[in-house]
Structure 1
């Protein structure tokens, strides 16, 4: 993929999340009456986020020619839980979405581990060159990490304000994933391709 293609890929992956955050900041203290029903700014931003994410996923597929299973599952859950959020006018559905995404990913990896396979390798094998032992270790770590993120999301949305949850979702989860990858440096060195 060209540098331009990589730039578009990054923009399409991060753009909808940043747009949600900016939209939330602009509308969080407002409410709107549509069809006789009052909706908070959070609900309206969620309603806008669903088609924006669907469009960005479609464009990502057009540019790269492929979508990972994680991207497809994420899109389906955003459509379902975003739709429930708007339909029932209840922001809790959208706040639960990350929990379910991480539980599903953790469970899928866990099932693979029980079968002696690294499903993570199927998704990331072309990007991260590791030997078999390295893939199994990384998969175990990812499995536990996803379950920890699911639990953390539950704690944050149930005990903190919507502002705190939006900040956590936009920046906290992204920082946690970045930090997790940084902490895997030793594993990548020990189980990556040998250097002459």
Structure 2
């Protein structure tokens, strides 16, 4: 699957959520979000015959918390979903560190090759960042309008995450393992 398709499948449901909220209301937007997430996960599976773990976990939370929002007619559930997801990711990363496991390495090792020390630093940083995102989500949904929360979820959290991720590049560069030389012998 090419990167553009992957990005569209991962970002598409969130952008549709934002657009539906801007033109209708949160309940309709939540229904669109749930449906678009199911479609995106299905298309991802059809194209790649697999669903990457992070979109699968995120999608499961969208379906469960979005479903609770719709079934109970209570927007609390969709608003606390980012808090719970971010705290879950943080707990998994912190738990892995305490158990001597580098779960971030397991997820990203195919994209980046780094020393265990580099993965440990990145794991600490991402775990703390997930806690910060959870706190920010709580502050925004509790103190601002629903429309502001939706806009921040789409246009605030994503840029923050991208900037934070790019700020980790020096760690990856410092602890990068050298490329494996050779490969299959040329005939």
Instruction: State the distance in 2 between where 1:61 and 1:107 align.
Output: 28
Per the alignment, residue 151 of structure 2 pairs with: 167
Per the alignment, residue 18 of structure 2 pairs with: 21
Instruction: State the distance in 2 between where 1:126 and 1:16 align.
Output: 26
Per the alignment, residue 37 of structure 1 pairs with: none
What is the CA deviation profile of residues 65-88 of structure 1, one whole-angstrom value per residue up to 9, with x for unaligned ones?
Answer: 322322222111111110111111
Bigger proportion of residues as strand: 1
Matched, 1:112 2:96: yes
Per the alignment, residue 188 of structure 1 pairs with: 172
Report the secondary structure of 1:67's partner residue: coil
Gaps of 5+ in 1: 28-40
Displacement, 1:60?
Answer: 1.1
Displacement, 1:194?
Answer: 4.0
Kindly report which structure 2 residues correspond to 1:18-97, keeping only aligned pairs within 5 A, or say none. Answer: 18-27=15-24, 41-97=25-81
Report the secondary structure of 2:58's partner residue: helix
Displacement, 1:7?
Answer: 2.0
Per the alignment, residue 8 of structure 1 pairs with: 5
Per the alignment, residue 183 of structure 2 pairs with: none
Per the alignment, residue 32 of structure 1 pairs with: none
Q: What CA RMSD, in Å, does the superposition of the two structures yield over aligned residues? A: 1.5
TM-score by length of 1: 0.87
Check whether the contact 1:112–1:119 (CA below 8 A) recurs between aligned residues: yes
TM-score by length of 2: 0.91
The count of corresponding residues between Structure 1 and Structure 2 is: 180
Instruction: State the distance in 1 between where 2:159 and 2:29 align.
Output: 23
Check whether the contact 2:37–2:59 (CA below 8 A) recurs between aligned residues: yes
Instruction: State the distance in 2 between where 1:67 and 1:124 align.
Output: 15
Check whether the contact 1:131–1:191 (CA below 8 A) recurs between aligned residues: yes
Check whether the contact 1:20–1:46 (CA below 8 A) recurs between aligned residues: yes
Per the alignment, residue 129 of structure 1 pairs with: 113
Displacement, 1:61?
Answer: 2.1
Check whether the contact 1:77–1:97 (CA below 8 A) recurs between aligned residues: yes
